[in-house]
C-alpha cells in the first residue's frame, strides 16, 4: 500500500508494507515509515490486526503527532470495537478527533 488513507481501517500487514521502519510508540499506537511516500504513517491498533490510519506526517513531526495521538488511543479503540474493514469515519466524527497541527495526505 503506497499511500495510506487517513481515517481508513487497513490490515496490519498492509499498514507495514513498504516500510523500512515500524515501532509501537505507545501500546496501541504504531508508526511506520513509508519508503514510497517518504512520510510516516501513524495508526491506532484495533482488534484482529486492524489499524486505523490516523495521520501521515513528515519525519520532523512524528514525535509531536505521536504525543498528540497518545491520549486518544483508548477513545479511538472504544469507538471502533465493532467496525467492519471498509468503514470510513464520517467527516464530523473525524474532525472532532483532529487538532490544528498540519499533516500531509499526498
pLDDT value of residue 31 = 93
Region 11-24 average pLDDT: 84
Q: Is 1 among the domain residues?
A: no
- In this structure, what DSSP letter does residue 26 have? E
How high does pLDDT run on average in the chain? 79
pLDDT value of residue 44 = 94
Q: Is 3 among the domain residues?
A: no
- Containing domain of residue 56, as a range? 9-92
Q: Is 102 among the domain residues?
A: no
pLDDT tens column, 43-90: 999 987 899 999 999 999 999 999 999 999 999 888 855 444 445 555
Instruction: Report which of residues 100 and 32 the model is more confident about.
Output: 32
Q: Is 42 among the domain residues?
A: yes
pLDDT value of residue 94 = 55
The tally of domains found in the chain comes to 1
Distance CA 53, CA 43 (A): 4
Q: Is 46 among the domain residues?
A: yes
Q: Is 16 among the domain residues?
A: yes
Q: Is 99 among the domain residues?
A: no
Q: Is 53 among the domain residues?
A: yes
Amino acid at each position: 500500500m503506497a499511500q495510506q488513507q487517513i481515517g481508513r481501517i487497513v490490515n496490519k500487514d498492509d499498514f507495514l508494507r513498504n516500510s523500512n521502519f515500524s515501532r509501537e510508540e505507545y501500546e496501541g499506537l504504531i508508526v511506520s515509515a513509508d519508503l514510497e511516500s517518504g512520510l510516516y504513517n501513524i495508526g491506532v491498533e484495533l482488534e484482529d490486526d486492524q489499524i486505523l490510519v490516523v495521520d501521515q506526517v513528515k519525519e520532523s513531526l512524528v514525535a509531536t503527532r505521536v504525543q498528540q495521538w497518545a491520549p486518544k488511543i483508548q477513545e479511538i479503540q472504544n469507538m471502533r470495537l465493532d467496525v467492519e474493514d471498509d468503514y470510513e469515519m464520517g467527516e464530523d466524527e473525524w474532525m472532532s478527533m483532529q487538532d490544528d497541527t498540519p499533516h500531509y495526505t499526498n
